[in-house]
Amino acid sequence: MANQLNPIHRIVLTGGPGAGKTTAADLLRRELGEKVIVVPEAATMIFSGGFPRYDNPAARKSTQKTIYSIQQNLEDVQSLRYPERILLCDRGTLDSAVYWPDGSDSFFKEMNTSLEAELSRYDAVIFFESASVAKREIIEGGNPTRNESIDEAARLDQELYKIWSHHSHFRHIPNNQSFIKKITIAIDCILETMKLFQDRT
């Protein structure tokens, strides 16, 4: 896991669009203060900064290469900058494999990596199921860079679940009609995971 090379523990918050990841991360940051540091979602950073979006296979590959590299380096920089804090990563490097137009095997070959290598960057994965799986409107966060339909968001949710569930410390936060209840369950889950890290040290 990540702590084999660095004492920092990394928790990935992932899931389909509109799942509540960013909201949960922000609430935890406010609640736990200096115990954690949030690594922002690379895709949101580049798209909100004007990075072009073009639905062409070659362009999508270039986009995911950029996202993968930025996500990786954001995590590494935050690890060095805050060596005593737990990293809460708003998505992880493995997410790019799901958005890759030719499938995950092609992604791993192109990026000279593997499923095992990407999973090993993280100590735990908290998966937030998107409201889209219940065909509910995606309203979390109001992220202006999000452009997926409900059906596309549901498909991405399933693919992300499939690939991340290989992690040995994978936790699933199901969709809930009450967003407050969902976030409360998620926060309890993350706090439980953090306690597990503390008990190991």
36-39 sheet: strands from edge to edge: 36-39, 86-90, 10-15, 124-128, 170-173
Calpha distance 90→77 (Å, rounded): 15
Calpha distance 78→18 (Å, rounded): 25
pLDDT in tens, 14-69: 998 877 788 888 887 887 778 889 999 999 999 999 999 888 999 999 999 999 99
Q: Model-level pTM? A: 0.84
Domains recognised in the chain with CATH numbers: 2-200 (3.40.50.300)
Give the pair of three-digit tokens for residue 20: 């509540």
At residue 62, the 3 state secondary structure works out as: helix
pLDDT in tens, 121-180: 999 999 998 776 655 554 445 555 555 677 888 889 999 999 999 999 999 988 877 778
